[in-house]
């Protein structure tokens, strides 16, 4: 059975220093409401999960494979399974919605504390 969440009631979880997220998990999908501090560098990484990133505020220069792409409010980034990505957040910070299929195991462990 489905469930309704009030986003403000979902606690933030620190993903890495300077990046926190509210995570909502379904059976086959995870949604991350991520907030990145100004000027932080989100480490380059890769994971098996497919990811779609929707920038809702601010901007960052995102490394995607061998390209550097500036993404800002309204941009949608599709990241393939095992594709190297991460990047430099702007001085204004960045907020985004990340969708992962399937849910990320490392984030599930963070949720359990």
Contact 58, 73 (CB under 8 A): yes
In this predicted model, what pLDDT tens digit does every residue of 95-112 receive, in sequence order?
999 999 999 999 999 999
Position 82 in a domain: yes
- The pLDDT value recorded for residue 113 is 80
Position 48 in a domain: yes
Closest CA to 44 of 65, 20, 69, 74: 65
Position 73 in a domain: yes
Position 74 in a domain: yes
Position 5 in a domain: no
For residue 30, what is the domain's CATH number? 2.60.120.10
In this predicted model, what pLDDT tens digit does every residue of 59-68 receive, in sequence order?
999 999 999 9
Containing structural domain, residue 84: 11-112
Position 99 in a domain: yes
Position 2 in a domain: no
Position 4 in a domain: no
How many domains is the chain partitioned into structurally?
1
Low-confidence ranges of the chain (pLDDT < 70): none
Gap between the Cα atoms of 66 and 84, Å rounded:
8
């Amino acid at each position: 059975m489905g469930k309704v969440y009030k986003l403000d009631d979902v606690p933030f979880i620190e993903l890495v220093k300077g990046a926190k997220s509210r995570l909502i998990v379904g059976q086959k999908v995870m949604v991350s409401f991520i907030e990145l501090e100004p000027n932080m560098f989100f480490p380059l990484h890769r994971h098996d999960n497919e990811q779609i990133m929707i920038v809702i505020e601010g901007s960052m220069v995102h490394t995607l494979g061998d390209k550097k792409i500036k993404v800002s409010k309204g941009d949608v980034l599709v990241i393939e399974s095992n594709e190297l990505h991460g990047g430099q957040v702007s001085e204004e910070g960045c907020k985004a919605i990340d969708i992962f299929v399937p849910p990320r195991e490392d984030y599930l462990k963070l949720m359990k504390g």
